[in-house]
Structure 1
Amino acid sequence: MIKVGLRMNKESFCTWIKEIREEKISRKDMASKYPWHENTIKAYEKDRLPELDYLYALSVVTNFSFRELVRQRLKTGLSDLQFPKIEKNHLLNNIDQVLQFDNQSDRFSYLNNQGEKGALEFAEVKSQAEIYQSFPSLKVEDDAMEPTIKKGALCTVDHKDTKLSPGAIYGFSYGTGKSEASLSILRRVQSSLKGAIILVTDNPTYPAQELSEELKKEITVIGRIKSVTNTL
């Protein structure tokens, strides 16, 4: 699976949406279900950037995040165009902000017009939105936390919280650097009676692990999971 987070070129984006589609439906069935010919879908999955309506249909049939499909399509398309770098970077850097707040603007407008109580709630909600916007979105690549967090889910991660508080879920990666592309490992933190840190999963096929000194050398704490958007 193509890792999301690093900017994709046209070919890698097309391969990415092909992999998303293949997990749920064949190309033939997609073409029979919706008004796109098999050859058109094949082109979308090779080297032609798809239209917005196709991405919407792809989101519906696969239950993959429409916001993430649009986000990556915009970044790929803008990166592929030739125009001044300053203007290009301005557009690219504002994609996340536009997509983050558009789906909350109606609620903000409503709360902000409900008197003192509404204004207070508006301020609280907007503050939380701004906080969560600052957290990077990472994609879950394994099924260790199913059924709570499904493979393919999008998580926001607080990189500043790496203290491993019992009861919380954290992202880990192998190596020394923080991954900006995916979560290699998700684990729930527990504490033993002797005070040792135990890393557990919600999927019973994965064994619990004590965070030994040897294991600490092999993994890096990416941060605490703050929110999850599961695929269905």
Structure 2
Amino acid sequence: MDSNEFGEFIKAIRDKILSRPAMAEKTGLHVNTIKGYEQDGRLPDVDYLAQLAIETGYSFADLLNKRLLAGKLGKVAEDQHLMVMEKRECYKFSVSTVSTTFKLPLLGSDSYLLVDNRLLPADIELKQLALHKEDDPLQYVVVNCSDKNIQDGLTFVVDYGIGPVTRAIQFGIAGAVILVSDSKKIPPLTVQEAQRDQINVVGKVICRITYS
């Protein structure tokens, strides 16, 4: 997708919801500026894309990714896995005023840690949950060990030969999976489709808990 195609794309999204003058009023931009975005190959800034997402309900992350790929750094952004993820998943947590502790197993050991029930999801069986220790000695992630179906944009504990680690999942081209660490010191790892069976998925990360 080049800049002209991106312009046609955002025009089609806007046209379904509101007119160009109405969008100009919402954004404080001149109608000719928006026309330039949509017809003249001029790429919009982030603020305009944010307003477009708000007005139309379209995914801001997808707009931002397409805008990035249509620009001069599109190839670099794709090669460096700079795409933005916006996939979210919600769980219900206990709102009980009664604090009860549960023993959750610590992955890779015979140890358990006590966790307040109010920190744990209320809609997942506790026997499916475990803790995984992060690099920070006081931080752990809660893992749903029954959910091993990796999904784009979500975070899992996986083992690809170096022991269990926490990684965000991105789906690449041709069936590749990109494993992304929270640490900028650890580069993303791309696993091609033919090697995907080498990824042992321990479970989906539900939340993080920090002990003090």
Fold match (TM-score > 0.5) = no
TM-score tier after normalising by the smaller chain length: 0.3 to 0.5
TM-score by length of 2: 0.43
The structure with higher relative contact order (CA 8 Å, sep 6+) is 1
Q: What is the TM-score with the length of structure 1 in the denominator?
A: 0.39
Structure label with greater radius of gyration? 2
Which structure is higher in strand share?
A: 2
| Structure with the higher fraction of residues in helix conformation | 1
